[in-house]
Amino acid sequence: MGKSVNPDLAKARSQATFDPANLTNYLYGGPEKLRRKRYLPAFVFKELCTEMSLTDLCLIFLGLLTHVSDYLGLTLSIENMAAKEYKEEGFKSTDDMSREEAYEESMRRAVYTNKRVLQLNLQDQEEQYYFREIFVPGANPFALHYVMFKDAINTQGTEDQIQKWLPLAETYAVTGTYAQTELGHGTFLRGLETTAEYDVQREEFILNTPTITSSKFWPGALGKTANVAILNAKLITKGRNCGMQSFWVPLRHLETHQPLPGITVGDIGPKFGYHTSDNGFLQLNRVRIPRENMLMRYSKVLQDGTFVPPENDRLVYVPMTQFRFVVIGRSGWTLAKAVTVATRYSAVRRQSEITPGGGEVQILDFQTQQHKLFTQIASAYAMIIAAKAAKDLYDSAFSKMEKGNLEDLPMLHALTSSMKAFNTWEMATGVEQCRMACGGHGYLLASGIPQMYTDMVSACTYEGENTVMCLQAARFLNKCQEAANKGERLPQLTRFLQTSRLNISSSLDQDVDLNDIIAAYEFRAATVISEANARLNAGLAMGKSQSEAWNYASQLLVKAALAFSHWFTVRALIENMRGAGFDNSTETLLLQLAKLYALDGMLRYSGDFRKVG
Ligand SMILES: CCCCCCCCCCCCCCCCCCC/C=C/C(=O)SCCNC(=O)CCNC(=O)[C@H](O)C(C)(C)COP(=O)(O)OP(=O)(O)OC[C@H]1O[C@@H](n2cnc3c(N)ncnc32)[C@H](O)[C@@H]1OP(=O)(O)O
Ligand SMILES: Cc1cc2nc3c(=O)[nH]c(=O)nc-3n(C[C@H](O)[C@H](O)[C@H](O)COP(=O)(O)OP(=O)(O)OC[C@H]3O[C@@H](n4cnc5c(N)ncnc54)[C@H](O)[C@@H]3O)c2cc1C
C-alpha cells in the first residue's frame, strides 16, 4: 500500500470546504478525460514497476490525487512518484547529468513513449502530452516534432502533401523541426535571409543561407534529433521576391543520420534552461529540393515558375498562431504545478512561532505566506480558464478560416499574441514567487520548481518575443479605437471600447460585486487603449511619421495590450466560475478566488485603476 501522508498535510486536506472531485473533473474536461489521465500512467507503471500491482498503483494515485486536489483540483503528484519509480527502475534523474547525458536520457525516455503511444493507439493530443510528460518532465527532444512540425504540415500542406508526409511523422519514419529563426532575425520575419530560388529547368528550389546571419539558429531538435525540417525561406522565382514560404527540407540521411550534402548542422550550446532540447543551427549551401517540397496549401509555384499568391499572406503564420495557443494553456498549468508544490511544502514546513512559546507553526499560517501562494493559486485558475475561453474563440474562428472566411484572423492574431505575452509573463513571475516561498528548499533542483522556471520562462521569448507580441495586438486594438472614434461597428471582442462606462455600485463597506469587478477591468482596458491611441495621434500631430509616432507611443501600446488581456482573463474567470454548474460550496470558493485574483490585480496595477477612478 502507499506511503503514509504527513499529518499536517492530511489535516490541511481534511479541512477542505468543497469536494475536490468536482473541480478536478472541471479542470480536466470531465470525468472521462480525468479517468483516462489517471489510467494511462498507472497502466505504464505496471510495465515498469513489476513488484507493485496495478491496483496498488491506482489506489496510491487516487489517494494522492484526492489530497493534492484539495488545493488545485489538479493531478500533479504523479510525475513526482513516477520520477522516483523510474529513477529506481532505471530512469535516472537528469539533475546530476552533463548536458549530453541528460539529452541522451531524455531521448531514451521520449523514444520509449513514442513507441508506447503508437502501441496504445493514443490519438488524443492531450492524452499523448500527459503520457509523455510523466516520462520526460523537462524539455522533450521531440517537442517540435509533436507540435509545430506536424501542425505546419496540417495547416500549410495540400491534401496530397498531408497524405504523403503526415504518416511519416506519425510513425516516426522521420523526426522533424520547425526552422524559421535565423542568427540575424527572430522577430522581424521580413528580414529573414535564407533563400529558396526556383530553377525552372529542373523544377527545383535551390536553398541557400548566403550569410552567417542567415544561418538558421535556435530551432529545437536541429542540433541532433531532426532529419527533416519545415523550413521558412524567402521564395525567389522569375527574379521576384515572393516573401516567406514553407518548405519540406531533408536534413540528415534517414539511415545513417549523417547530414546530407550541402547541409551543416550542429548544437548551439548550453542555454539558461531547456537542457534536454538540442536547439541547433543550420547552414544550407545551395541545397536542391523538388518543386513539390514547397507547402502549397495557400500559395503555389507552378512548373513554369509562376507564383500564385495566397488569399492572405498572413496564412503562412498560422502554425505560430496555433502554437501560441498551446503556450497560453501550458503557462497556466506550469504555474499550477509550481504552486501545488509550494503549497504542499507550506503545509508540512514548520518554522518560527506566531504566539511566543506556542510552538513552531506551519508556514501556511503566516498571512504573508498565504498571500504569496493564494494569489498564485488564483492566477493559475485564471490562466487555465482564460486559455479555455480563448481556445473556444480560436476554434470557432479557425473553422470559419478553413471554409475560407478570414474575417476573424486579425482578432485571432491579436488575442493569441496578447494572451501569450500576458500568460507567460504572469507565469514566470508566479513560478519564481512559488520557488522563493519554499525558502532554501525552493533552490534545490529536487523541488522541481527551478526547472519549471528555467524551461518555461523561455516561452516569454519563443513563439514571438512578448513585447513584440503586445505591439502586434496593439495594432488591432488601435485600429478598433480609431473605428470607435468614428462611431463605426467593432468586432464583438472590442465593442467594450464604445460601451464601457464606470458605474460602480459597490461601496467600500460592502463585499464587492463581481459585475463591478468586470466593469472596472473593462473600463481600465478601454481607458489605457484610448490613451495609447491619443499618444499615437499626438505624435502624428507633432509631425512624426506613422512609424515614428508608433514608436513614440509604443510603451503605452504594450500596456494597452496587457490591460486588454487582463480584462479578458478576469471576465473569463468570473463568467466561467458562475456558469460552470458547481455545487454551492465549490462555486462560493471559486468566486472568492476570482475576487482575490481581480483585487490582487487592482493592487498590482493600482496606478491604472486609481487613474480611471
Ligand atoms: C496540460 C494541458 C495539456 C495540453 C495538451 C497540448 C499538447 C501540446 C504540448 C506541447 C508541448 C510543448 C513543449 C514546448 C516546446 C516549445 C519549443 C519552442 C518552440 C518555439 C518555436 C518558435 O519560436 S518558432 C519562431 C517564432 N517566431 C515568431 O513568432 C516571429 C515573430 N514575428 C512575427 O510574427 C512577425 O515578424 C511580426 C508579426 C512581429 C511582424 O511581421 P511583419 O513586419 O511582416 O508584419 P507587420 O507587423 O507589418 O504586420 C503585417 C500585418 O500582418 C498581420 N500579422 C502578423 N502576424 C500575423 C499572424 N501570425 N496571424 C495573422 N496576422 C498576422 C499584422 O497584424 C499586420 O496586419 P495589419 O492589418 O497591417 O495590422
Ligand atoms: C528555448 C527557445 C526555443 C526556440 N525554438 C525555436 C524553434 O524551434 N524554431 C524557431 O524558428 N525559433 C525558435 N526560437 C527562436 C525564437 O522564436 C526567437 O528567439 C524569438 O522569435 C525572438 O527573436 P530574437 O531571438 O531574434 O530576439 P529579438 O527580436 O532580437 O529581440 C531582442 C529584443 O528586441 C526587442 N524588439 C525586437 N523587435 C522589436 C520591435 N519591432 N519593437 C520593439 N522591440 C523590439 C524585443 O522586444 C527584445 O527585447 C526559440 C527560442 C528559444 C529561446
DSSP track, 367-383: HHHHHHHHHHHHHHHHH
Helix (H, G, I), strand (E, B) or coil at 557: helix
- Mean of the pLDDT values across residues 339-363? 97
**Is residue 81 in a domain?**
yes
Q: What is the pLDDT of residues 178-199, one digit of tens each?
A: 999 999 999 999 999 999 999 9
Q: Which atom of ligand 1 is nearest to the CA of 409?
A: 61
Domain-ending residue, one of 138, 166, 199:
138
Domain-ending residue, one of 258, 293, 310:
310
**Is residue 304 in a domain?**
yes
- Rounded to the nearest 5 percent, the helix, strand and coil shares of the chain are 60, 10, 30
Q: 66 and 12 in contact (C-beta within 8 Å)?
A: no
Distance 562 CA to ligand 2 centre (A): 19
| 58 and 130 share one domain | yes
User: Of all protein residues, whose CA lies closest to atom 33 belonging to ligand 2?
Assistant: 465
Cα 560 to Cα 422, 480, 539, 567: the distances in Å are 11, 12, 17, 11
Which residue in 132, 138, 162 sits closest to 150, CA to CA? 162
Q: Which atom of ligand 1 is nearest to the CA of 125?
A: 7
168 lines ligand 1 (CB under 6 A): no
Look at 491 and 1; give whichever has higher pLDDT. 491
Q: 39-50 b/e with 16+ CB inside 10 Å = b? A: ebbbebbbebbe
Confidence of residue 124 (pLDDT cuts 50, 70, 90): confident
ipTM value? 0.97
Q: What is the pLDDT of residues 503-545, one digit of tens each?
A: 777 776 678 889 999 999 999 999 999 999 999 999 999 999 9
- The residue count for the chain: 613
Cα 540 to Cα 328, 482, 526, 543, 578: the distances in Å are 35, 14, 21, 5, 45
546 lines ligand 1 (CB under 6 A): no
Environment class of residue 368 by beta-carbon count within 10 Å: exposed (0-12), middle (13-18) or buried (19+)? exposed
180 alpha carbon, closest ligand: 2
| 330 and 285 share one domain | no
Domain-ending residue, one of 310, 338, 360:
310
- The x, y and z cell numbers of residue 108, run together, are 531514451
| 244 and 369 share one domain | no
Cα 185 to Cα 189, 218, 269, 426: the distances in Å are 7, 11, 19, 26
Q: Which amino acid is at 4?
A: S
Q: Which atom of ligand 1 is nearest to the CA of 181?
A: 25
551 lines ligand 2 (CB under 6 A): no
User: Of all protein residues, whose CA lies closest to atom 2 belonging to ligand 2?
Assistant: 462
| 346 and 487 share one domain | yes
Residue 579 predicted with pLDDT over 50: yes
Look at 23 and 168; give whichever has higher pLDDT. 168
User: Of all protein residues, whose CA lies closest to atom 23 belonging to ligand 2?
Assistant: 186
Q: Is the dihedral of CA 381, 382, 384, 389 positive or negative?
A: positive
Backbone angles phi, psi at 185, to 5 degrees: -150, 130
Q: By residue range, what is the domain housing residue 300?
A: 175-310
The CATH number given to whatever domain includes residue 343 is 1.20.140.10
Which residue in 266, 291, 265 sits closest to 196, CA to CA? 291
180 lines ligand 1 (CB under 6 A): yes
Active site residues: 463
**Is residue 162 in a domain?**
no
Confidence of residue 87 (pLDDT cuts 50, 70, 90): very low
Q: Which atom of ligand 2 is nearest to the CA of 465?
A: 22
| 355 and 245 share one domain | no
155 lines ligand 1 (CB under 6 A): no
Domain count for the chain, please give it: 3
189 lines ligand 1 (CB under 6 A): yes
Residue 71 predicted with pLDDT over 80: no
The verdict on whether residue 181 carries a ligand-binding annotation is: yes
**Is residue 169 in a domain?**
no
Beta bridge partners of 68: none
Q: Which of 413, 418, 466, 546 to mutate to test ligand 1, by most ligand atoms within 8 A of the CB atom?
A: 413
- Mean of the pLDDT values across residues 535-563? 98
User: Of all protein residues, whose CA lies closest to atom 18 belonging to ligand 1?
Assistant: 462
| 211 and 121 share one domain | no
Distance 136 CA to ligand 2 centre (A): 25
Distance 317 CA to ligand 1 centre (A): 6
Distance 324 CA to ligand 1 centre (A): 7
**Is residue 503 in a domain?**
no
Least confident range from 254-268, 364-378, 501-515: namely 501-515
| 449 and 536 share one domain | yes
Distance 244 CA to ligand 2 centre (A): 17
Q: Which atom of ligand 2 is nearest to the CA of 271?
A: 1
| 402 and 445 share one domain | yes
Distance 463 CA to ligand 2 centre (A): 8
Q: What is the pLDDT of residue 380?
A: 98
Q: Which atom of ligand 2 is nearest to the CA of 232?
A: 11
C-alpha 390, offset from chain centre = 12
User: Of all protein residues, whose CA lies closest to atom 11 belonging to ligand 1?
Assistant: 143
Radius of gyration (C-alpha) of the chain in whole angstroms? 26
| 292 and 265 share one domain | yes
The verdict on whether residue 607 carries a ligand-binding annotation is: no
| 222 and 122 share one domain | no
The Cα–Cα gap between 259 and 279 comes to 16
The CATH number given to whatever domain includes residue 258 is 2.40.110.10
| 132 and 231 share one domain | no
User: Of all protein residues, whose CA lies closest to atom 7 belonging to ligand 2?
Assistant: 219
| 285 and 215 share one domain | yes
**Is residue 148 in a domain?**
no
Least confident range from 135-139, 564-568, 598-602: namely 135-139
**Is residue 544 in a domain?**
yes
215 alpha carbon, closest ligand: 2
Q: What is the pLDDT of residues 455-472, one digit of tens each?
A: 999 999 999 999 999 999
Distance 374 CA to ligand 1 centre (A): 32
The Cα–Cα gap between 64 and 451 comes to 23
- Mean of the pLDDT values across residues 34-62? 62
Q: What is the pLDDT of residues 214-225, one digit of tens each?
A: 999 999 999 999
**Is residue 556 in a domain?**
yes
Residue 353 predicted with pLDDT over 70: yes
